[in-house]
Structure formats: C-alpha cells, structure tokens
Amino acid sequence: MTKIAVLGAGSWGTALANTMAINDVDVQIWSHRADQVEEINQQHTNEKYLPGAQLSPKLQAAADMTTAVKGADLVLVVVPTKAIRTVGEQLAAVLTSLNQQVILAHATKGLEQGTHLRISEMLREVVPAERYSALTVVSGPSHAEDVIKGDLTAVSIGATDKAAAGVLQAALANQHFRPYTNQDLLGSELGGALKNIIALGSGMLIGLGYGVNAQAALLTRGLVEMREVGQKMGAQPETFLGLAGIGDLIVTGMSPNSRNFRAGRALGQGQQLEQVQAEMGMVIEGVNTVKAVYEYSQANHLDLPITTALYRVLYEGADIEKQITSLMTRPLKAED
Ligand SMILES: NC(=O)C1=CN([C@@H]2O[C@H](COP(=O)(O)OP(=O)(O)OC[C@H]3O[C@@H](n4cnc5c(N)ncnc54)[C@H](O)[C@@H]3O)[C@@H](O)[C@H]2O)C=CC1
Ligand SMILES: O=C(CO)COP(=O)(O)O
C-alpha cells in the first residue's frame, strides 16, 4: 500500500491529505505546530485554516517530521513559497537520516523572491538528488474550501515521470476529485504561480465596482502575459490552455474563496496592503509573485503591462484607477 506524507497543515495541505484519507490511503500530515497536530488528531478539525470543516478521523497528524516521512513512498510539500527552502532542508535531513528515497511532490504556487526560481527548482537545490526518484506538482483550479465540502474538482498533476504522477493521481482520485496528469512540470508550476497575479487584479476591478466585461478582458489578456512568461521560461504553451492555466485563472480570478481575489477586492475598496495581509491570516502568494515576475520581465525584456501596473500599485503606491486608465489608453494594437 502506498504511504504518503503531507508536509504543511494549512488549508491546502489539509484538504489534500483529507482527500487521501477518505480514499483509504495511508497518509500522515506534518505540522510544525503541536497544537494543530493535537486538534487534527483529537477533534478532526483545523479551525484556523478550514473553519467548520469535519476532517476524516482516518487522517493522522504528526509534529515530528520523521514520524510522518518514515516509510513514505511519496512526500507532498504544501507550505507557502517562502517556507519551501526551510521545510525542504528539514526534509533532506530526515530522508538522509532514514536513508530513504521518495517521490517528491509539491502543491505550492509561487516563485522565490530574488532568484525567481520555481518551487521544484528550490527543492532540487536543497534535497540531495539521491533522496528522490522524481519530482511532481499538483496544480489546477482547486480551492481547499470547496474540496473539503466535496465540490467537484479537477486538477492537473505535472511530472516528466509519468509513473510518479500516476502515484499521486491514484491517491487523490475519487468521484468528487479528478486528477489528470501531464508531462509539463514547469508549465504546471508556472500556471499556478502566475494566475495569482491576475487574480489580484481581478479582485481590484470588482472592489472598484467594474463588471464582468472588465474581468473577462483582464483574465484573457492576463493569460497572454502568463503564456509569454511561460514560453520565456521554457513551458509548453498548451499547458496554459489546460487546468493549470486557464482553469486555475478562472477559479482564482472569479471565486470569493480565493485569497488573492479577496485581497485584490479589499485593495480596490481602498484598504492598505499591510492591513489586508494581516487580516487574511493565510498566505496571499500573488503579492510576492507580482514582484518576482516584474523583476524577471525587466531582466528579460518582456512587455507585461498588467503585471507592471500591479507592481506599481503594490510596490510603488500607484493609484489603481490611474493604472487602469493607462492600460486602457496604451497605443492600439492587434490582438496577439
Ligand atoms: N488554499 C488553497 O485553496 C490552495 C492553496 N494552494 C497553494 O498552497 C500553498 C499553501 O497554501 P495554503 O495551504 O493556502 O496556506 P495557508 O496559509 O493556509 O497555510 C500555510 C501552512 O504552512 C505552515 N507553515 C508556514 N511556514 C512554515 C514553516 N516554515 N514550516 C512549516 N510549516 C510552515 C503554516 O503553519 C500553515 O499550516 C500556497 O502556495 C498556495 O498558493 C494551491 C491550491 C489551493
Ligand atoms: O490556487 C488556488 C486555487 O486553485 C488558490 O488560490 P488562492 O491562494 O488565491 O486562494
């Protein structure tokens, strides 16, 4: 029987681990917070991250990473981007001490500040190559709040190694949750990270009182920017037309369950970024990703007008309405 360790007990790690527990997979979730481990094991809840949700009693949590990882065939890392290196280093030490090799998977959607590295690239830097047989990512349109309620969800598991993607696909699949596989790890990771930028913008439009025409325009032109960055970094363009691209862009750009959408909406309504981040209490990955992608575009001579406008709003204090006007009044051009 496949054993899986999930590292990170925020909303997404918990929802994915719970799906596997429901499927009778041997799964353990690790949290660095002992109170959370106790809550999951005793109450079968995770109130801070999934308020009101009842978790499967089969889901076991551990505060000690070695306990969770020992004997696992696959380790799924689901912590915010800024914690990936720390958790990756802890995992490397655990795998080395256990002399164990695993399939290394993650479900994190972001790029590293400064280096602009993808999550799998960071993991590769900190986990020795002999400690994992393959790398894979769970991406696609999937809010934890909806998954935990059993809403119908399809995701995309990207890996160059088909068998590795298949292990995660089999562990997660049920009548409510349908994972597809693809062989574009890079594009699947990027789609998940880049759509958060556009979701912030979509929220801002709604916060300012604009309508669905405006959202459709932003999401569609945002997809062009996502594809452009993806092509520059080496992704397959067709990945952006799948679940990890347009699929995730739709859900994150339209759903009030999205932290990025909600943050953008609050900013559009006039709140300050620091206040929005403090009140969310959960990671808003798009804020850092805007900066990483803006810097990448400057270094690589990419023209990304939406990303640039959002960078100016978030990091230079620019007025949102003025940025919208300047986007709308740029020199007219053909659609490409
Ligand atoms: N929430 C969702 O519906 C989805 C989230 N994601 C992605 O999954 C990733 C995680 O997001 P969420 O679960 O929403 O975040 P969250 O904010 O709900 O939870 C983050 C978890 O990571 C833990 N953590 C933070 N720093 C840590 C460290 N240094 N060591 C160990 N644990 C640490 C926190 O204690 C918390 O349990 C993000 O990249 C997000 O974009 C992807 C798809 C869906
Ligand atoms: O990636 C997600 C849904 O697919 C989650 O997006 P948020 O982090 O904006 O909630």
* Contact by Cβ (8 Å): 140, 243: yes
Which DSSP string corresponds to 278-296?
Answer: HHH-S--HHHHHHHHHHHH
> CA–CA separation, 220 vs 214, rounded Å?
10
> CA–CA separation, 310 vs 318, rounded Å?
9
Q: Residue 46 Cα, ligand 1 centroid: separation in angstroms?
A: 13
In short, whether 265's Cβ falls inside 6 Å of ligand 2 is no
187-328 homologous superfamily: N-(1-d-carboxylethyl)-l-norvaline Dehydrogenase; domain 2 (1.10.1040.10)
Predicted pLDDT at 3: 98
Helix (H) or strand (E) holding 190: helix 185-208
Predicted pLDDT at 300: 98
Q: Residue 165 Cα, ligand 1 centroid: separation in angstroms?
A: 21
Q: What is the 3-state secondary structure (H, E, C) of 54-88?
A: CCCCCCEEECCHHHHHCCCCEEEECCCHHHHHHHH
Domains of the chain, by residue range, sit at: 3-183, 187-328
Number of helices (H), then strands (E), in the chain:
15, 8
Q: Which residue among the candidates 48, 58, 162, 195 is catalytic per the annotation?
A: 195
Q: Which residue has the tokens 């979730």?
A: 29
Angle, CA of 200, 243 and 310, to the nearest 5°: 15
Binding residues: 8-13, 32-33, 49, 109, 140, 142, 144, 195, 248, 258-260, 283, 285
Q: Residue 68 Cα, ligand 2 centroid: separation in angstroms?
A: 26
Q: Across the chain, what does the average pLDDT equal?
A: 98
ipTM, two decimals: 0.99
| DSSP state for residue 111 in the 8-state scheme | B
Predicted pLDDT at 22: 98
- From 18, 29, 46, 78, give the residue whose CB has the most ligand 1 atoms within 8 Å, as the site to mutate: 78
Q: pLDDT below 70 — which residues of the chain?
A: none
Torsion of CA 55, 84, 117, 102, to 10 degrees: -80
The CATH architecture annotation of domain 3-183 reads 3-Layer(aba) Sandwich (3.40)
Name the closest-CA residue to atom 29, ligand 1. Answer: 83
Considering the chain, what percentage of its residues have pLDDT values greater than 90? 99
To the query of whether residue 195 is one of the catalytic residues in this protein, the response is yes
